[in-house]
Amino acid sequence: MTDATQEQDGRDEAERAAAAATAEAEQLPYGRSWPERHTGPVVRRRGQVQAGTTDQRLLDSHGPSDWVHGDPWRVMRIQSEFVEGFGALAELGPAVSVFGSARTPVDSREYEAGVRIGRALTEAGFAVITGGGPGAMEAANKGALEAGGVSVGLGIELPFEQGLNPYVDIGVNFRYFFVRKTMFVKYARGFVVLPGGFGTLDELFEALTLVQTKKVTRFPIVLFGTDYWGGLVSWIKGSLVAEGKASAADLELFHVTDDVEDAVERVTKESA
């Protein structure tokens, strides 16, 4: 056997090993803990080895050949995530999605408000859907579960999250953000948005866009915390509306409050 042949055989073996590792890691069942899945499969591209989440591999395209080699299989995986989400939530009944920061401290007033909101929504006959993480999401799940309601957590594969919080009794873990976000809207009759960061803002503005463009109807959006959301509302009025980027009527797409009963009443009336 020549040196060139041995070198080629070595490269082929390395490629097969990398492909096997990728296949095994990407087929992990959803029931496994997140820290294990967050290590991510090993991916070989242009002689480099790198790890990452499924969303990263989908969006980090390196050229036109990526579609030919990998994306058709990703389409099937995306389809399977939709099927699993639909199957898990199809018989959920009336529900409200509650958003907020994963960094909300357990001993904070915002966490307490999340617990009260989860409890009040349950008492009003709603299941509570959150992102399944800690902080404000955990608070809403806790309130719902302690009130005897249905507590749902829709998790996402991220390098820095630690799994679903202990107050979730129906949990689904997603690899793709856009699939997860579809579930938040499809199975909810409204949103209650606690103070949060970029992820919360992403979910908020997607919901506002869907209502503004009438992709969804009778979909109340409640921002909880007048001090926290006041600056954003002022910017919307003073910049978006004032400069004609949005209409004055768009200010009616959401409601701002500090009162739990008012928030739940608004969701109940406008989603009927």
pLDDT, tens digit, for every residue of 188-242? Answer: 999 999 999 999 999 999 999 999 999 998 899 999 999 999 999 999 999 999 9
114-137 pLDDT, tens per residue?
Answer: 999 999 999 999 999 999 999 999
Across the range 33-45, mean pLDDT stands at 30
Dist CA 110 CA 130 (whole Å): 15
Q: At residue 27, does pLDDT exceed 60?
A: no
Which region among 1-5, 217-221, 243-247, 258-262 has the lowest average model confidence (pLDDT)? Answer: 1-5
Say if domain 85-270 classifies as CATH 3.40.50.450: yes
pLDDT, position 74: 80
**Adjacency order of strands within the sheet including 95-99:** 170-174, 151-156, 127-130, 95-99, 191-193, 221-224, 255-257
Burial label, 55 (beta-carbon count in 10 A; 0-12, 13-18, 19+): middle
24: pLDDT confidence band, cut at 50, 70 and 90?
very low
Dist CA 146 CA 128 (whole Å): 12
Does the CA dihedral 250-252-254-255 come out positive or negative?
positive
Task: Residue 98: name the closest of 70, 120, 76, 68 by CA.
Answer: 120
152-164 pLDDT, tens per residue?
Answer: 999 998 876 568 9
Under 8 Å between Cβ of 132 and 171: yes
Rounded (10°) CA dihedral 91, 96, 100, 106: -80
63-93 pLDDT, tens per residue?
Answer: 555 544 566 778 888 999 999 999 999 999 9
Tell me how far the alpha carbon of residue 203 is from its chain's centroid: 8
Dist CA 74 CA 89 (whole Å): 23
The pTM (predicted TM-score) of the whole model is 0.75
Across the range 244-261, mean pLDDT stands at 97
35: pLDDT confidence band, cut at 50, 70 and 90?
very low
**Percentage of residues of the chain with pLDDT beyond 90:** 66
pLDDT, position 65: 53
What ranges do the domains of the chain cover? 3-52, 85-270
Under 8 Å between Cβ of 163 and 141: no
Amino acid making up residue 155: G
